[in-house]
Amino acid sequence: MTIRNNRATSSASALEPLLQQAHDYALEYIGSIDSRPVYPEASDIANLGLFDEPFPESPCDASELLALLHRNGSPATVTQTGGRYFGFVNGAVHPAALAAKWLADVWDQNPALYVMSPVVSQLEHVCERWLNELFELPNNTALGLVGGSSISILCGLAAARNELLRRLHWDVNANGLFGAPQLRVVIGEQAHATVFKALSLLGLGRERVEIVPTDEQGRMLIDEFPTLDHRCLVIAQAGNVNSGAFDPFNEICDRANSANAWVHVDGAFGLWAGASRSTYHLYSGASKADSWSVDAHKTLNAPYDCGIILCRHREALVSAMQATASYIQWSENRDGMLYTPDMSRRARAVELWATLKSLGKNGIASLVEQLCARANEFADKLRDQGFQILNDVVFNQVLVACDRARLTESTLENIQLSGECWCGGTVWQEQPVIRISVCSWRTTRGDVDRAVSAFVAARSRAQSAQSRENKT
Ligand SMILES: *Cc1c(COP(=O)(O)O)cnc(C)c1O
C-alpha cells in the first residue's frame, strides 16, 4: 500500500501540534549548538531540581510537559553534538541518522522477530552484509544490534564461552559452568573495564585471567603471551581507550588460530580504522578474529544507543543468545532476537543503515581520516604551546599533561568549567593526564584552535592560582 496523507485522522490531529512543538524546540536547540556552553552552567544544573517533584496524581498536558522539558532540560544538556566536546569517546550525531531515527520513532517497531517488523529485519540484514564487506569479514559473519559495546562484548564472550565448551563436549546452556572443563582467558593489561564486567557476568571471573603485559602505548606484547591452546579465549583491543593504540592483530590471531583458540576484538571505537586506507595498518589482521564488538555511536556518529556484535561463527552466537517459547514465531527471514540478549528492543538498524548509506564507504573513510587529522592538529598545537603529549597519536585520542601533576589537574578543572570545550581526565603511566577524544564529525580546525586557546587560558589561570598559594 502507499501511505496517503490524511491529516484528518484523529491520531494525526492529536499528534501533529505536539510533534510540531518538539520539532520547533529541536531546531531551536540545534541552532544554539555553536554558541551554547559545551558543559551546562551550575545554575542550569541546579534547575534540574524542578524535575524532582512528587509523583503527580493526575495526568499532565503533553504540550506543557514538552515545554517543561525544553525549558529546564535543554539548558542542562552536555553539548556533545557540537564540535568542541572531547570527553570520554562520545560521538556526535550524523544528520541523516538523526532524521531517519525520528521517522523510525514514529514507526515504533520491535525488531525481535521478522513478523513484528519486516522492514527493520531487512535493514538489519543489509547492515550485516555491508559491515561484513567494510571490515572484510568472512561470509556469513553474524551481526547483532545492542545498546553498546558493554553488551556486544558480553555477546561475543558468551558465544566464545559456549563454543569453546561445546568443542570440549560441554553444553553450558544446559549445565552451566558447574563442573565444566576449565577455560583460560588471556587478556591485555589495559583491557577496558567493560571486558572485565562481561567476564564477571559470564562466570568467567574478572580475576581468573592470564594478563599479558603491554608496551608504553598499551599494546599487548606478543612475546609475553602464554602458550595458547584450544581452551583459550583471547581478548584483544582495537583502540586503547586512553592512547588509541591497537594490539598487534596479525601475530595474535595467527597464534590463536593455530591453537584453535577464540579471539574477540574489543573495537568499540577503533574497529572503524579498518574503513580507511590511511588507518588500515592499525586494523590489519583483525579480520582473522572470531568475534568483534564495535559501537556505531562513537566514531561512526550514529545516535546513541547503537552497539554491534559481529561473530564469524553464526551458530555459536545464536546458541548463546537462544530463547524458546511456544508463542515465538520464527521465520525464514532474519529474526533479530537470535543475535542479541534482548527480545524487544529499538529499531537501531534504521539509524545504522542511514549512517552507512548516507556516508558510503568513502564517506566513512573520510570521517575516520578527519577525526584523526583533527586529533593530530590538536596534539601539534598543544605541543607548540608547551603542553606534553604523552601518546603516539595514531587515531583520535590525545593524552596531554602540563609540567607538574598538580598543574595538569587544575588546568583540567578550569577547562571543564570554561564552557569552551570539555575533556575528561585519566591516569596514564601513574600520572594524571587530560584526555582528548576527537569523535565528532562537526569538529573543525577552528574548533581545535578555540579549544587550544581554552587550554592555554586554563593553564594560565591554574598557574596564577598556584603561584598565589605558594606565596601565602
Ligand atoms: C566505550 C568503550 C567500551 C564500552 O562501550 P559502551 O558503548 O559505552 O558500552 C568498551 N571498550 C572500549 C575500548 C570503549 O572505548
Nearest-angstrom CA–CA distance, 100 and 132: 22
The answer to whether residue 4 scores a pLDDT higher than 60 is yes
Residue whose C-alpha is closest to residue 272's, from 174, 131, 175, 160: 131
The answer to whether residue 9 scores a pLDDT higher than 80 is no
One-letter amino acid for residue 69 of the chain: L
| pLDDT tens digits for range 168-193 | 999 999 999 999 999 999 999 999 99
Nearest-angstrom CA–CA distance, 253 and 246: 13
DSSP per-residue letters across 196-254: HHHHHHTTS-SSS-EEEPB-TTS-B-GGGPPPP-TTEEEEEEBS-TTT--B--HHHHHH
Confidence of residue 10 (pLDDT cuts 50, 70, 90): low
263: helix, coil or strand?
strand
Confidence of residue 269 (pLDDT cuts 50, 70, 90): very high
204: phi then psi, degrees, rounded to nearest 5 = -90, -15
Q: Are strands 291-295 and 307-311 parallel, antiparallel or unpaired?
A: antiparallel
Q: Is the CB of 244 under 6 A from ligand 1?
A: no
Cα(264) to centroid of ligand 1, in Å? 14
The answer to whether residue 259 scores a pLDDT higher than 90 is yes
Nearest-angstrom CA–CA distance, 316 and 138: 15
On average, the pLDDT of the chain sits at 96
C-alpha cell at 104: 523510525
Arithmetic mean of pLDDT, 421-440: 97
Work out which ligand 1 atom sits closest to the CA atom of 267.
Answer: 13
Nearest-angstrom CA–CA distance, 65 and 68: 5
Residue 422 DSSP symbol? B
| pLDDT tens digits for range 199-231 | 999 999 999 999 999 999 999 999 999 999 999
Cα(239) to centroid of ligand 1, in Å? 10
Q: Is the CB of 218 under 6 A from ligand 1?
A: no
pTM exceeding the 0.75 threshold for the entire prediction: yes
| pLDDT for the residue numbered 5 | 65
261: helix, coil or strand?
coil
Half-sphere exposure of 179 (CA within 13 A, CB side): 5
Q: Is the CB of 148 under 6 A from ligand 1?
A: yes
Cα(150) to centroid of ligand 1, in Å? 6
| pLDDT for the residue numbered 472 | 72
Do 301 and 367 meet the contact criterion of CB atoms below 8 Å apart?
Answer: yes
Work out which ligand 1 atom sits closest to the CA atom of 295.
Answer: 7
Residue 85 DSSP symbol? B
Cα(226) to centroid of ligand 1, in Å? 26
**CB-count burial class (<10 Å; 0-12, 13-18, 19+) for 89:** buried
How far from the centroid of its chain's Cα atoms is residue 234's Cα?
A: 21
Q: Is the CB of 89 under 6 A from ligand 1?
A: yes
Q: Is the CB of 241 under 6 A from ligand 1?
A: yes
Place of cell 577552528: 446
Confidence of residue 470 (pLDDT cuts 50, 70, 90): confident
Arithmetic mean of pLDDT, 195-201: 98
| pLDDT for the residue numbered 6 | 59
Cα(139) to centroid of ligand 1, in Å? 26
Burial 117-135 (b: 16+ CB within 10 A, else e): beebbbbbbbbbebbbebb
Say what percent of the chain tops pLDDT 90. 94
Give nearest CA residue, ligand 1 atom 7.
148
Give nearest CA residue, ligand 1 atom 2.
268
Helix axes 95-107, 348-384, angle to 10 degrees: 150
Task: Name the residue of 90, 194, 352, 397 to mutate for ligand 1: max ligand atoms within 8 A of Cβ.
Answer: 194
Arithmetic mean of pLDDT, 379-397: 98
Work out which ligand 1 atom sits closest to the CA atom of 240.
Answer: 13
Task: Name the residue of 88, 146, 149, 291 to mutate for ligand 1: max ligand atoms within 8 A of Cβ.
Answer: 149
| pLDDT for the residue numbered 391 | 98
Cα diameter, the chain:
79
| pLDDT tens digits for range 341-362 | 999 999 999 999 999 999 999 9
Cα(25) to centroid of ligand 1, in Å? 31
Neighbouring C-beta atoms of residue 166, cutoff 10 Å: 16
Arithmetic mean of pLDDT, 124-138: 98
| pLDDT for the residue numbered 326 | 79
The answer to whether residue 51 scores a pLDDT higher than 70 is yes
5 compared with 385, residue with greater pLDDT = 385
Nearest-angstrom CA–CA distance, 314 and 344: 21
Q: Is the CB of 247 under 6 A from ligand 1?
A: no
Q: Is the CB of 239 under 6 A from ligand 1?
A: yes
CA angle, residues 229, 182, 172, in degrees to nearest 5: 110
Cα(283) to centroid of ligand 1, in Å? 17
Arithmetic mean of pLDDT, 267-280: 98
Task: Name the residue of 189, 196, 201, 266 to mutate for ligand 1: max ligand atoms within 8 A of Cβ.
Answer: 266
| pLDDT for the residue numbered 142 | 98
Give nearest CA residue, ligand 1 atom 14.
268
Cα(151) to centroid of ligand 1, in Å? 9
| pLDDT for the residue numbered 328 | 80
